[in-house]
Structure 1
Amino acid sequence: MKKIILAALLYLTCSAAFVQAQTYQLSSHILDISTGLPAPEVPVKLQKWNEKDDTWTVVDQKITDENGRIKDFLEQKNAAKGVYKLTFLVADYFKSKQVTSFYPFIEVVFEIKDNKHYHVPITLSPFGYSTYRGN
């Protein structure tokens, strides 16, 4: 009987954790190709374009983790189609490395057209960058 109760409690605990797991529609990543390493502790601002009044609204701002990643922009239940902009504030990152950079920040504008996951990374160096739609 105890085994059945323990198994039921374990099932309920795991089920509750699964139900509460949040999913996100947007993620990003910064890889510093001048070092071959991820870029940690870079602030990244997410904004959404307001077509009616031609302005940007800040949706969220986060900082890349030790792997240069942000996994949790736009919670899936609150996600909306539209034009978005990620602003990667890289000036302090390069200053911390004592490296001169041409870019104080990098803006990437893209459009979310459906409910699929969007991964918008950049590869970065002091004098260049590239972006693409990843997965």
Structure 2
Amino acid sequence: MSAITTHVLDTALGRPATGVPVRLSRIDADTHQISDLADATTDDDGRVTDLGPDQAPAGTYQLRFDTAAYYAATGQECFYPEVLVTFAVTDRRHHHVPLLLSPFAYSTYRGS
């Protein structure tokens, strides 16, 4: 399993968000350059478990969710065409970053 994983739930429909394109990137602390690490798509359970390395060094990371593609595929209106979640990795624990999604709102948290 990757050191960083995610789970996307469509709270408006009450089910996992299948087929959401997700990109994991790292932001360099000195130059602020963004380096893409991995791309994946959520599975039938709305999860991505094979995103990036099995160890994530301390630093700042981003998960970019292509919500426009998901909403187009499900025939829903979309106010936020993408969701960008920036977070800090400070230790070697597994980092799970879920996204709760609806057409006009979203939230995220540090999962387990």
Q: TM-score, normalised by structure 2?
A: 0.95
Equivalent positions of 1:83-98 (< 5 A) are: 83-98=60-75
Aligned counterpart, 1:48:
26
Shift of 1:55: 1.4
Question: What is the CA distance between 1:79 and its match in structure 2?
Answer: 2.2
- Measure the CA separation in 2 of the matches of 1:82 and 1:98: 37
CA distance in 2, matches of 1:123, 1:134: 12
Q: Is the 8 A contact 2:22 2:41 kept in 1?
A: yes
Please, what TM-score do these two structures have when normalized by structure 1? 0.79
> Moved runs in structure 1, 4+ residues, more than 6 A?
none
Of residues 109, 124, 130, the one that matches 2:86 is 109
Structure 2 spans left out of the alignment, 5+ residues: none
Residue 129 (structure 1) aligned to one of 102, 106, 111: 106
CA distance in 1, matches of 2:12, 2:76: 11
Q: Report the residue type matching 1:74 in the other structure.
A: G
After superposition, what is the alpha-carbon deviation per residue over 1:11-45, rounded to whole angstroms, capped at 9, x for unaligned? xxxxxxxxxxxx42111000000011001111100
How many angstroms does 1:75 deviate by?
Answer: 2.6
1:36 aligns with 2:14: yes
Taking only aligned residues, the RMSD between alpha carbons, in angstroms, comes to 1.1
Provide the rounded CA distance (Å) in 1 between the counterparts of 2:46 and 2:36.
Answer: 21
Higher RCO, 1 or 2 (CA under 8 Å, sep at least 6)? 2
User: 1:69 is matched with which residue: 13, 36, 47?
Assistant: 47
Aligned equivalents of 1:97, 1:60: Cα separation in 2? 24
Over alpha carbons, which structure has the higher Rg?
Answer: 1
**Aligned partners of 1:42 and 1:118: how far apart in 2?**
19
Instruction: Report sequence identity in percent.
Output: 38
